[in-house]
């Protein structure tokens, strides 16, 4: 009897994982799934700010973004002291409510050894899981810094186990002209939309979309 229950549980789990993979993974640009059509606006949107150049690029992309459609929360690396200041300087409207800024531990600092990276990554992932559970994002916009990895992993995990569907939009950094960044490669298959800043990249990667000059 127990064996039957176990087998059924395994089959259900395997079916769920398989179905999720079919829905989530795509090598080419697919028809958009229009996940949120008819949903009440604004959509709960989560934006990862990296540091330095990544933050500058993300803030340019958020210019004129309709806050009545996408209500943005922000994730910052906890050692990043400049990004919040930059938002406050350039987009005071977004920085009005500091509760919308959430910091997570960095998974890796430059020069950190790989064994300690493993532990700090686990810590970062745990913190992201908590945050994603709380914020229930419908849209996740990321643009490359390493801080994105645990956030994306946590969001996809909840999509898999808690049936929380997600629109994942990845924007590659403008400094990538011929090849994708590490985060880009990792996010390529699971993203809903994958945006690049150079036509060279769009030619090489069938799923990547070049939208002209955005910055």
Residues forming contacts to another protein in the complex (CB under 8 A) are 32-38, 41, 43, 52-53, 56-57, 60-61, 63-66, 69-70, 82, 85, 89, 138-139, 141, 167, 169, 173-178, 192-193, 195, 198, 200, 209, 211-215
In whole angstroms, the minimum distance from the beta carbon of 199 to another protein comes to 10
Least Å distance, CB 166 to another protein, is 10
Structural contact between residues 132 and 154, judged by C-beta atoms closer than 8 angstroms: yes
Closest-CA residue to 128 (of 144, 145, 150, 106): 150
Asked if 71 and 42 count as a contact pair (C-beta separation under 8 A), the reply is yes
Tell me the C-alpha distance between 77 and 34, whole Å: 31
Rounded to whole angstroms, the Cα distance separating 144 from 180 reads 10
Residue 31 or 99 having the CB closest to another protein: 31
For another protein, which is the closer residue by CB, 105 or 184? 184
Q: Which is nearer to another protein, 15 or 33 (CB)?
A: 33
> Shortest approach of another protein to residue 117 CB, angstroms?
18
Calpha distance 75→135 (Å, rounded): 11
């Amino acid at each position: 009897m127990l064996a039957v229950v176990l087998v059924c549980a395994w089959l259900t789990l395997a079916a769920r994982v398989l179905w999720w993979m079919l829905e989530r993974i795509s090598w080419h640009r697919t028809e958009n799934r229009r996940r949120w059509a008819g949903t009440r606006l604004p959509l709960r949107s989560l934006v990862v700010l990296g540091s330095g150049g990544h933050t500058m690029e993300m803030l340019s992309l958020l210019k004129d973004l309709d806050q009545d459609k996408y209500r943005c929360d922000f994730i910052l690396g906890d050692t990043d002291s400049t990004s919040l200041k930059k938002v406050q300087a350039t987009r005071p409207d977004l920085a009005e409510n500091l509760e919308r800024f959430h910091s997570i531990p960095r998974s890796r600092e430059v020069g950190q050894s790989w064994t300690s990276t493993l532990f700090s990554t686990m810590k970062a992932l745990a913190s992201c899981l908590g945050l994603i559970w709380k914020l229930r994002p419908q849209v996740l916009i990321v643009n490359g810094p390493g801080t994105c990895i645990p956030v994306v992993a946590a969001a996809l995990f909840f999509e898999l186990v808690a049936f929380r569907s997600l629109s994942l939009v990845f924007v590659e950094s403008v400094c990538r002209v011929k090849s994708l960044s590490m985060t880009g490669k990792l996010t390529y298959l699971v993203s809903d939309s994958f945006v690049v800043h150079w036509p060279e990249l769009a030619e090489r990667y069938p799923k990547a979309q070049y939208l002209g000059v955005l910055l």
